[in-house]
Structure 1
Amino acid sequence: MRTRVLAICLSLAALPVAAEGDFDTEGGFAAFEQLFGVTEGKRRNHTKGFCVEGELTPVGDAIHAYSNSPLFSGTSSVIARVSHKGGKPNPADDKYGLLGMAMEITTADDDLHVIAMNTEHFFPVATSEAFIELLRAKAAGGDATKAFAAKYPALKAYKAYHSALAKTLRPYEGTTFNSVNSFYLVDEAGTQTAMRFSFRPSGEEGIVTETHPNFFLENMQKNIADGGVSWDMVVTLANPDDVVADPSVQWTGDHTEIVAARFTAKAAMAESDGQCDALNFDPMVLSDGFAPSEDPMLQVRSMIYALGVGQRLSEKE
C-alpha cells in the first residue's frame, strides 16, 4: 500500500508544474479516448491486463561500474502488470498483438523504481505532440493517417522494421519487452552513462494451455507452477553516436550489453485479485543510480499517466 500511494502522489504532485509547459496534457489524454473510446475505471491505453508479483535479483557485478542503484545490490519486491497495447477492453489473447509490461519495484532499502515497457523496439515518432497527432489521425480514418505519414517519415521506418518481425503468437512470459525511452545510469561519482534496456525471457516459456481469447493468465499461472517464469534485465549501453533524446531513432550495430538483474514471477492474478490496478507506472519514478534522459516524451508520459490515474480511480468510486 505504501508504494502504491507514494507512486500516485509523486505523479500527481508533479503535474501542476509540468502542466505549465506547452504540452496540452488533457488534450493528449483525450486523444486516447477519441481513438479507443472509454472503458470507465480502466486505463485508456493497455486496457486489458493482469497482475504479476515477484522479485528482482541482481545478476553479476558488471553493472556496478555504471550505477549504484539498489536494484543491483539486493533483492527487490515487484508488483507488475502485463497488458495488451491499445484501449480495447478485451482484445483476444489468441491473436498476435503488441504487448506491454510495467513494474513497480521496491528495493531492499525501501527505494522506489518504476519501469514501463512495450514489445516495440523503438517509437513511431520523436515527440509527444506528434504521437498525439498520430492518435487523432488514426481516429479520423485512413486519409488522415496517410497525410500524417507523409508529414512524419519516422513512421515509415517504424512500420517497415516492425512489420518485418515474426508474428508468432507468444504469451507474456515468452515475450521480450523494451524500453523505448533512454535513461542514464549514474555511478558513485555522478558519472552518467546513457542506456536503453530490455526484459528478455530467461527460458523458453511458451504456450502450455489450450488457447482461447482469454488464455494468457491461465498460461502464465501454469508456467509458474511448472517451473518458473523469469525475464533477464539486459542493459544496452549507448555508443557515442547514438541518439539519446529521440525514441524514434533505433540504435543499430554492436553495443555493450549487460545482464544486470532477473525478474522472477512468483504469482499471477486478475487485477481484481492483485495490487497492480491502482498503480501509476510513471517512468520518471527512479531509484538512486538512475536519471531520466533529455527525451521530452518521458516528462509528458508522466503528466498523462498522472491525469489518467486520477481519472480512472475516480470512476471506481
Structure 2
Amino acid sequence: MKDATLASSAVFDAEEGFDAFEKLFGVTKGKRRNHTKGFCVEGIFAPVDPRVRTYSSSPIFSGTSTVVARVSHKGGKANPRDDQYGLLGMGLEITTANGDLHVIGMNTEHFFPVATSRDFIELLQAKAAGPDATKAFAAQHPEFRAYKNYHEALDKTLRPYEGTTFNSLNTFYLVDAEGKKSAMRFSFQPSGEQEIVVDTHADFFLENMQKNINEGSVSWDMIVTLANPDDAILDPSKQWSGDHVTITAGRFTAQNAMPESDGQCDRLNFDPMVLSEGFAPSEDPMLRARSMIYALGAVKRLSEKD
C-alpha cells in the first residue's frame, strides 16, 4: 500500500490537543468538548453479506449484537440548532453475543482536513485565534484547502441523523482467521429513505428519530470499501477515488432513541482503537491521537459529573 503520510515530527500531546478544543469551543462542564450536543440510540447490529467473513473473523459479522450509540452535532457548542445544516457524528459501542466489544466513531465529513495529529492541533489553535490565523494556516496546508473546497461544494440539504451517511475517515484492517489483513474504510449509509417527519425547530432531531422508529425501520448499512494498491491508507486527508470492491457487511437497526439523561451513551468513550477480534487499527497516527484525546476528555468530563 502507498503511505502518503509524512511522519509527524512531534509526539502527540493529548493535553495540548484537549486544550485546543477548549480554547476553540469553550467548556460545558460535564459534557464532551467536541460533539457536545447529542442523544442516545439503542438497537442491534446484524451481518448482511457473508462475503465479509472472507476478510474478517469478527463476531460482529457472525451473529446479532447489541448496540448503544450516540448521534451528535460536530463541534463544542452547547446547543447548536437542529434546523440548520451542520456536520454530524455517530459513535457505536457494539457488544457481541460472546461479550466482545467493538467501538466505532464516524463523522459526516468525507475525509480529514489534515494528515497528522500535529497539524490537527495547529488547525484548532489557528481557528481559536481567529480568521487571519486560519487563513495563514490554510496558506501553508494545501490539504486543508482541498478539504474546505470539497466539503463546501457538497449538498447542504438539511437531513436528520437517520437520513445521513457517516464515514470512518481513518483506515482499519479486516483480519481473517489466518491473520491476513485487508485495508479498508467504511461508511454507515441509511438503509432506506428517512426524512424529516415533524415540524422543524432548534431541537427536533430526537423527536424526528423517535417518530421514524415508531412508524417504520431506522437503520444504516455498514458499507466496507476495500483499499486498492495505490490508495493512501495512512493519510486520512486523502480521499480514495475510482472503482473499489465494496461489501454491505452489516446493518445497525435503531430500536429506541432517548435523551442522554435517560440512556446509556453519555458515559461511554467512543475510542476507535477498541476493536473486536477480526479487526486491527491501521498505522495511521491520527487513530492514536483520537484515542488519546478521547480518553483524556472522558476522564475530565466524567470527573465533572461527580
Would you say 1:56 and 2:45 are equivalent positions?
Answer: yes
Decide whether the 8 Å contact of 2:49 with 2:247 is kept in 1. Answer: no
In the alignment, the residues of structure 1 paired with residue 56 and residue 211 of structure 2 have an alpha-carbon distance, to the nearest angstrom, of 36
1:139 is matched with 128
Deviations 1:210-248 (Å, cap 9, x if unpaired)?
000000000000000001200000000000000000000
1:157 to 146, 153, 157: 146
Superposed displacement of residue 136, structure 1:
0.6
1:26 maps to a residue whose letter is E
2:233 is matched with 244
1:299 to 288, 294, 298: 288
In the alignment, the residues of structure 1 paired with residue 13 and residue 215 of structure 2 have an alpha-carbon distance, to the nearest angstrom, of 48
In the alignment, the residues of structure 2 paired with residue 160 and residue 279 of structure 1 have an alpha-carbon distance, to the nearest angstrom, of 34
1:81 is matched with 70
In the alignment, the residues of structure 2 paired with residue 132 and residue 49 of structure 1 have an alpha-carbon distance, to the nearest angstrom, of 24
1:225 is matched with 214
Deviations 1:267-307 (Å, cap 9, x if unpaired)?
00000000000000000000000000010010111111110
1:103 maps to a residue whose letter is L
In the alignment, the residues of structure 2 paired with residue 138 and residue 31 of structure 1 have an alpha-carbon distance, to the nearest angstrom, of 9
In the alignment, the residues of structure 2 paired with residue 137 and residue 47 of structure 1 have an alpha-carbon distance, to the nearest angstrom, of 21
Q: Secondary structure at the match of 2:32?
A: coil
Q: Secondary structure at the match of 2:261?
A: helix
In the alignment, the residues of structure 1 paired with residue 242 and residue 185 of structure 2 have an alpha-carbon distance, to the nearest angstrom, of 14
1:228 maps to a residue whose letter is S
In the alignment, the residues of structure 2 paired with residue 99 and residue 60 of structure 1 have an alpha-carbon distance, to the nearest angstrom, of 27
Would you say 1:104 and 2:93 are equivalent positions?
Answer: yes
2:7 is matched with none
Task: Using structure 2 for the length normalisation, give the TM-score.
Answer: 0.96
Superposed displacement of residue 60, structure 1:
2.1
In the alignment, the residues of structure 2 paired with residue 262 and residue 89 of structure 1 have an alpha-carbon distance, to the nearest angstrom, of 31
2:305 is matched with 316
2:164 is matched with 175
Which aligned segments of 4 or more residues in structure 1 are displaced greater than 2 angstroms?
Answer: none
In the alignment, the residues of structure 2 paired with residue 183 and residue 23 of structure 1 have an alpha-carbon distance, to the nearest angstrom, of 20
| Cα-Cα RMSD | 0.7
1:16 is matched with none
Q: Secondary structure at the match of 2:138?
A: helix
1:11 is matched with none
1:241 maps to a residue whose letter is D
Decide whether the 8 Å contact of 2:15 with 2:293 is kept in 1. Answer: yes
1:74 maps to a residue whose letter is G
Deviations 1:35-74 (Å, cap 9, x if unpaired)?
0000000000000000000000000211011000001000
Q: Secondary structure at the match of 2:184?
A: strand
2:57 maps to a residue whose letter is N
Q: Secondary structure at the match of 2:206?
A: helix
Q: Secondary structure at the match of 2:49?
A: coil
1:222 maps to a residue whose letter is K
2:83 to 67, 70, 94: 94
In the alignment, the residues of structure 1 paired with residue 27 and residue 278 of structure 2 have an alpha-carbon distance, to the nearest angstrom, of 38
In the alignment, the residues of structure 1 paired with residue 77 and residue 12 of structure 2 have an alpha-carbon distance, to the nearest angstrom, of 26
2:274 maps to a residue whose letter is V
In the alignment, the residues of structure 1 paired with residue 272 and residue 124 of structure 2 have an alpha-carbon distance, to the nearest angstrom, of 21
In the alignment, the residues of structure 1 paired with residue 66 and residue 175 of structure 2 have an alpha-carbon distance, to the nearest angstrom, of 22
1:193 maps to a residue whose letter is S
1:196 to 165, 180, 185: 185
Deviations 1:74-96 (Å, cap 9, x if unpaired)?
00000000000000000000000
Q: Percent identity?
A: 74
1:40 maps to a residue whose letter is K
Would you say 1:35 and 2:10 are equivalent positions?
Answer: no
In the alignment, the residues of structure 1 paired with residue 191 and residue 217 of structure 2 have an alpha-carbon distance, to the nearest angstrom, of 10
Q: Secondary structure at the match of 1:288?
A: coil
Q: Secondary structure at the match of 1:259?
A: strand
Task: Using structure 1 for the length normalisation, give the TM-score.
Answer: 0.93
Q: Secondary structure at the match of 1:79?
A: strand
2:265 is matched with 276
